[in-house]
Each structure stands twice: as C-alpha cells, then as structure tokens.
Amino acid sequence: MAESKLTEEQIIADIVDRYESDEGMLIPMMQDLQADCGYLPVDQLRRLAGRLDVPLSRLYAVATFYSSFRLAPKGLHEVTLCVGTVCYLKGAGQIAERISKEFQVEAGGTTPDGLFTFQPVNCVGACALAPVMIVDGKYHDGVSPDSAMEILRGLPAEDEAAETEAEA
C-alpha cells in the first residue's frame, strides 16, 4: 500500500500543533523540521513564521545563531568530530585537518560529492573515549587520523546503498 506523503503545509501544521503554537518552543520546532527534511528549507521557514505569527527575520536569526541548524541540504552521511579540550589534546585537531584536506570539506560544510556533512562540535561528553567521531549517530572512540580516514572512505555512496537494497 502506497504511503501518502505529508504535504509541506501539513508538516508545518503538525509541528506547530505538537508544541501548541508556543513560540518559546521555536528551537525544538525547527529541530523537528530539520529532522524531517535534513535541513531547513526557506519556504518551510516562511510557512512556520506565518503560522506562529513571528517575523521571518527572527527565524533566520535563530537558524544562523545555533550550530545545529543547516540552511543547505546535508550530505548522505553525517560526520561529527568532537574538538573539545580532551579530544583536542589527543589529536582531534590533526584529524579535523586531515578530513578537511582529503575530502575537501570545511567545518560545517558538505563534501563536493555530497557524501557527508562534516560538523566539528565542542565536546560530546564522552571524554574518556577521546578522540571521538560520530558517524550517522554511531560513536567511534579513540580515533586517529588514519583510522578516521578508513571509516570515512568506507562510507557507502548513494548508488551502492541503493544496489544493496535492490539485492536484498
């Protein structure tokens, strides 16, 4: 049975209802929206601003102030590298440099081929496992520049993922 996809308006309506139109919950609302689309599309933000009767400039301010928000589509995979003090002491700086260099991606950006979005963060609270890299929600502890490269090189690209699905 075919699933009916929610229209964009419905997605916004749902989110606003979920938080009872409380504009104090704007950040959780935008997080839910981003969880849905992978990023924050301009049109959706416009709709949200309209529904809440909040100026669009405020949504833009919030979207650009907090590090977790993205205004552009993210890559196929999400790579988070902790650059908190302990991870930094254990070499996270070198790992970040290596990732940027090899995959041609800036902090907060996406690789040119759209394989992954690279987001350094300031401490994920797993300091005993430093350095920590989180790929698609999975934690990798004690990574080195070499082991990080291995993990990232092994990330499946879209075609491969679709092929394996078809085979299954």
Residue 89 in contact with other proteins, rule: CB under 8 A: yes
Nearest to 116 by CA among 59, 161, 50: 161
Candidate residues 76, 88, 117, 148; the one interacting with other proteins per rule CB under 8 A: 88
- Contact between 69 and 42 (Cβ < 8 Å): no
Residue 68 in contact with other proteins, rule: CB under 8 A: yes
138-140 and 133-135 beta bridge pairing: antiparallel
**Alpha-carbon span 29 to 9, nearest angstrom:** 14
- Smallest separation, CB 141 to other proteins (Å): 5
Residue 122 in contact with other proteins, rule: CB under 8 A: yes
Residue 26 in contact with other proteins, rule: CB under 8 A: yes
Q: Which is nearer to other proteins, 72 or 157 (CB)?
A: 72
Q: Spell out the long-range contacts of 2-6 with Cβ–Cβ below 8 A and sequence spacing 24 or more.
A: none
**Alpha-carbon span 77 to 62, nearest angstrom:** 24
**Alpha-carbon span 71 to 59, nearest angstrom:** 11
Considering only the stretches 4-12, 80-88, 110-118, 152-160, report the one whose residues sit in contact with other proteins under the rule CB under 8 A: 80-88
Length of the chain: 168
Residues 145-164, interacting with other proteins (CB under 8 A): none
Candidate residues 9, 10, 14, 61; the one interacting with other proteins per rule CB under 8 A: 61
Give the interface with other proteins as residue ranges (CB under 8 A): 23-28, 30-31, 42, 54-62, 64-69, 71, 84-89, 121-130, 132, 139-141
